[in-house]
Chains A and B, each alone.
Chain A
Amino acid sequence: KQEVTQIPAALSVPEGENLVLNCSFTDSAIYNLQWFRQDPGKGLTSLLLIQSSQREQTSGRLNASLDKSSGRSTLYIAASQPGDSATYLCAVRPRTHHSGAGSYQLTFGKGTKLSVIP
């Protein structure tokens, strides 16, 4: 069964610092990996989607990498700002050989809660 782990559970950094959030998964047979941001009491906002054939994706100050063979992804945030404070979730879509929920569901990590201190 696919398991996704995000370490650390919480991270506090001063404003302006570059930081890396980590995500690891146990089964390298995936279609893609998606990074989300969740603000308190809010829904999930998709940040980046990396296909299994890709090594990285970039959007503004965010860069996500994927090393499928080692079961790892990182989300790099450059020049962090207080507005980046949120919980960041990593999710993978397992690659299955049959139809059913396994083909469609995302397996989520528990998230890393980021606080950027002004």
Chain B
Amino acid sequence: NAGVTQTPKFRILKIGQSMTLQCAQDMNHNYMYWYRQDPGMGLKLIYYSVGAGITDKGEVPNGYNVSRSTTEDFPLRLELAAPSQTSVYFCASSSGTVSSYEQYFGPGTRLTVT
């Protein structure tokens, strides 16, 4: 049971380039999330999904897109990278009811845009 996995661990992008951050979970969780963590700040929600085919925006969605074609995978797409997107990105998943579920996090992807 690997839990939540993310690839790549590190990436450097040039301004204007695109990339996809991969996230997968093997716990059969319905809910999945993408957060970003900036230095000295709390994590902020980018996008979330309540099941395959269903996604919605979080607090800071601009510049990102997501898809959820399977229960296991929840990739995050950056279309035109900007320096403001330099951050550490965490994927998480959870199951259970809205009132009780616990979120489990992946190891993160450290992205630098120059």
Contact = CB atoms under 8 A, between A and B. Distances in A.
Interface of A: 4, 31-32, 34, 36, 41-46, 49, 51-52, 89, 91, 95, 100-101, 103-111
Most buried by B among A34, A45, A101, A107: A101
B42 interface: yes
Given A44-B92, A104-B45, A111-B42, 10 more contacts: A46-B102, A52-B99, A101-B48, A101-B59, A104-B31, A104-B50, A105-B48, A105-B59, A110-B40, A110-B42
Given A34-B103, A51-B100, A42 B108 contact: yes
5 contacts: A41-B108, A45-B105, A104-B31, A106-B43, A106-B103
Contacts of B57: 101
CB-based closest 4 A-B pairs = A108-B42, A105-B45, A44-B105, A43-B107
B45 A101 contact: yes
Interface in B86-102: 90, 92, 98-100, 102
A91 to B, nearest CB: 8
Interface of B: 4, 31, 33, 40-45, 48, 50, 56-59, 90, 92, 98-100, 102-108, 110
Contacts of A89: 42-43
Contacts of B56: 100-101
A83 to B, nearest CB: 19
B106 A43 contact: yes
B101 to A, nearest CB: 8
A89 B92 CA distance: 15
Most buried by B among A43, A51, A103: A43
Contacts of A41: 108, 110
Given A32-B100, A44-B90, A105 B58 contact: yes
B37 to A, nearest CB: 8
A90 B72 CA distance: 27
B102 A43 contact: no
Contacts of A4: 42
Contacts of B48: 101, 104-105
A91 B59 CA distance: 15
A110 B44 CA distance: 11
